[in-house]
Amino acid sequence: MTTGTDQLRRANTASVLRSLRRRGPATRAELAQRTGLAKATVGAIVSALETEGAVVEGADGAPRNGARGRPGRPVALRGGSLLGLGLELNVDYVSAAVLDLAGEVVASASRPAGQVGGPDPESVLLSLAGELGAAGLAPGGRLVGATVAVPALVRDDDRTIAWAPNLDVRGAGLADRLERVLPGCPVRISNDANCAAYAEAHHGAAVGVGHALYLTGTVGIGAGIIADGRLVPGGAGFAGEVGHMPVGNPEACCGCGRRGCWEASIGLHAVLAAVGLPELDTPDETARAVAARAASDPVTRDRLAAVGRDLGLGLATLASVLDPEVVVLGGYFVPLGELVLGPARRMLDERLVSSAQVRPELRLSTLGIGAAALGAAEQSFAHVLAGDVELGPGSAHAS
Ligand SMILES: [Zn+2]
């Protein structure tokens, strides 16, 4: 049974962990100052976390003066101890990343899936989760949570897939099946664009940017919105579902069953149809082949420029609504780069309503295809950093 004292201890522990995660190593005295907790409380928390293996004292080997002139040794998060598993289930590939609480990627992998005659994406996901989840069983390591990024509307219970037009998956079944592969590890489901935006804001092209928009470049197109450094979930958690805005060719058929959706003009399948090239194992590989063709073929360049103009048209609408400082483009946009970004910029310049409106800077993702899995891994620590997880030895369950 969880008592009020337990809750307070967890909340205080989480506060110390958040401080170490966001602001780096600190002495006990500095931690007390940063968190507003009493020094004795911080001392007890640090000792418990040391026993747990979550923090280490004197990691940088440099004692420094504490607040009262006593030498204090800095406490740091210990890499490899508390681990978060991030997974991405997409139409044509699956990715995974294991992150430790100190922010280091311990393991990562991407595999093709869903191709004709090949294994379905969910079985590839379950086997990859089993393999990488085993990292949490290594000596000293513990998996505290797993998050799956999906190109779908996910209900705010963080488990139920409400709508996934490009994938055959619904309800809470996926989370249940993953929990059977990852015993004792709580599994959450999250939107892929939100996960990727979160990763770009913490590790990639949008670090230090207050207002950013992330756009996925896969078969579907989704957005993750960062405002004041935080993800904007919307009322039901569905914000950023931009792929089905009516932009681009009004006749193009979309995976959602309608015509004229933005992703039916600028999603990966639309790009391949425009340039007449086949899909390869991953969006990244496919887009590199398209870029290679464009290098020698002016017709391919023209068709990509048309995709870029439709990209710019939708971005002009989003820029008018959200006023982002930076738009980060992920997935297949990365290998295509200026082939689509140049025309998109010119379209943005034409469509922005006034010269007073600042054109958002268009940046390519620096995390590539692994962005959503990395962001999902990062989100797997949300329970720990919110104080909802008991960090006593041997228990990893949220209450
Ligand atoms: Zn649609």
Q: How far is the CA of 246 from the centre of ligand 1 (A)?
A: 8
Name the amino acid, one letter, at 242: V
Q: Which of 13-17, 223-227, 367-371 shows the lowest per-residue confidence on average (mean pLDDT)?
A: 367-371
309: three-class secondary structure by DSSP: helix
Q: How far is the CA of 243 from the centre of ligand 1 (A)?
A: 6
Cα dist from 231 to 190, 191, 385, whole Å: 12, 11, 16
Q: How far is the CA of 324 from the centre of ligand 1 (A)?
A: 24
Does 78 score more than 80 pLDDT? yes
For residue 188, what are the β-bridge partners? 147
Phi-psi region of 155 (alpha: psi -120 to 50; beta: other; left: phi over 0): beta
Looking at residue 108, its pLDDT comes to 92
Q: How far is the CA of 198 from the centre of ligand 1 (A)?
A: 24
Mean pLDDT (the chain) is: 89
Q: How far is the CA of 114 from the centre of ligand 1 (A)?
A: 20
Q: How far is the CA of 273 from the centre of ligand 1 (A)?
A: 17
Q: How far is the CA of 376 from the centre of ligand 1 (A)?
A: 25
Q: What is the mean pLDDT of residues 82-106?
A: 92
Q: Is 255 or 137 the better-scoring residue by pLDDT? A: 255
Q: How far is the CA of 326 from the centre of ligand 1 (A)?
A: 25
CA 366 to chain centre: 13
pLDDT tens digits along 278-302: 998 888 899 999 999 999 999 999 9
| Cβ atoms of 326 and 363 closer than 8 Å | yes
Q: State which of 65-79, 154-168, 253-267 shows the largest mean pLDDT.
A: 253-267
Q: How far is the CA of 263 from the centre of ligand 1 (A)?
A: 7
Q: How far is the CA of 217 from the centre of ligand 1 (A)?
A: 15
Q: How far is the CA of 222 from the centre of ligand 1 (A)?
A: 11
| Cβ atoms of 185 and 133 closer than 8 Å | yes
Looking at residue 61, its pLDDT comes to 45
Q: What percent of the chain has pLDDT over 90?
A: 65
pLDDT tens digits along 39-65: 999 999 999 999 888 899 875 545 555
CA atoms of 306 and 273, how far apart (whole Å): 13
Q: Is 138 or 382 the better-scoring residue by pLDDT? A: 382
Burial of 280 (0-12, 13-18, 19+ CB in 10 A): middle
The string of DSSP letters for 73-120 reads PPEEEPTTSEEEEEEEE-SSEEEEEEEETTS-EEEEEEEE-S-TTS--
Q: Single out the residue of 29, 140, 18 nearest to residue 74, CA to CA.
A: 29
Does 37 score more than 50 pLDDT? yes
Name the amino acid, one letter, at 16: V
pLDDT band at 117 (very low <50, low <70, confident <90, very high): confident
Q: How far is the CA of 166 from the centre of ligand 1 (A)?
A: 10
Does 221 score more than 70 pLDDT? yes
Looking at residue 5, its pLDDT comes to 86
Residue 159 has what DSSP assignment? Answer: S
Q: Which of 76-80, 212-216, 313-317 shows the lowest per-residue confidence on average (mean pLDDT)?
A: 76-80
The structure tokens listed for 185 are 């590890």
Looking at residue 174, its pLDDT comes to 94
Q: Single out the residue of 160, 204, 190, 180 nearest to residue 89, CA to CA.
A: 190
Q: What angle do CA 142, 144, 147 make, to 5 degrees?
A: 130
The structure tokens listed for 304 are 């990509």
Q: How far is the CA of 264 from the centre of ligand 1 (A)?
A: 7
The string of DSSP letters for 323-374 reads --SEEEE-TTHHHHTHHHHHHHHHHHHHHSS-TTSPPPEEEE-SSGGGHHHH
Q: How far is the CA of 230 from the centre of ligand 1 (A)?
A: 27
231: three-class secondary structure by DSSP: strand
Q: How far is the CA of 265 from the centre of ligand 1 (A)?
A: 10
Q: Which of 67-71, 201-205, 242-246, 263-267 shows the lowest per-residue confidence on average (mean pLDDT)?
A: 67-71
Looking at residue 40, its pLDDT comes to 94
Looking at residue 394, its pLDDT comes to 45
Q: What is the mean pLDDT of residues 20-39?
A: 93
Q: How far is the CA of 215 from the centre of ligand 1 (A)?
A: 16
Does 141 score more than 70 pLDDT? yes
Q: How far is the CA of 242 from the centre of ligand 1 (A)?
A: 9
Q: How far is the CA of 188 from the centre of ligand 1 (A)?
A: 25
Looking at residue 136, its pLDDT comes to 62
pTM: 0.88
Q: How far is the CA of 304 from the centre of ligand 1 (A)?
A: 21
pLDDT tens digits along 184-208: 899 999 999 999 999 999 889 999 9
Does 126 score more than 50 pLDDT? yes
Looking at residue 123, its pLDDT comes to 93
Q: How far is the CA of 252 from the centre of ligand 1 (A)?
A: 9
pLDDT tens digits along 319-334: 999 999 999 999 999 9
For the chain, what is the largest distance between any 2 Cα atoms, rounded to a whole number of angstroms?
73
Looking at residue 115, its pLDDT comes to 77
CA atoms of 112 and 41, how far apart (whole Å): 49
CA 65 to chain centre: 38
Beta-carbon contacts of residue 60 (< 8 Å; ≥ 6 apart): 25, 74, 76
Length, in residues, of the chain:
399
Does 399 score more than 50 pLDDT? no
pLDDT band at 154 (very low <50, low <70, confident <90, very high): very high
Looking at residue 19, its pLDDT comes to 93
| Cβ atoms of 136 and 143 closer than 8 Å | yes
| Cβ atoms of 271 and 220 closer than 8 Å | no
Q: How far is the CA of 283 from the centre of ligand 1 (A)?
A: 19
CA atoms of 358 and 348, how far apart (whole Å): 10
Q: How far is the CA of 81 from the centre of ligand 1 (A)?
A: 43
Backbone angles phi, psi at 208, to 5 degrees: 80, 0
Strands 361-364 and 326-329 turn out to be parallel
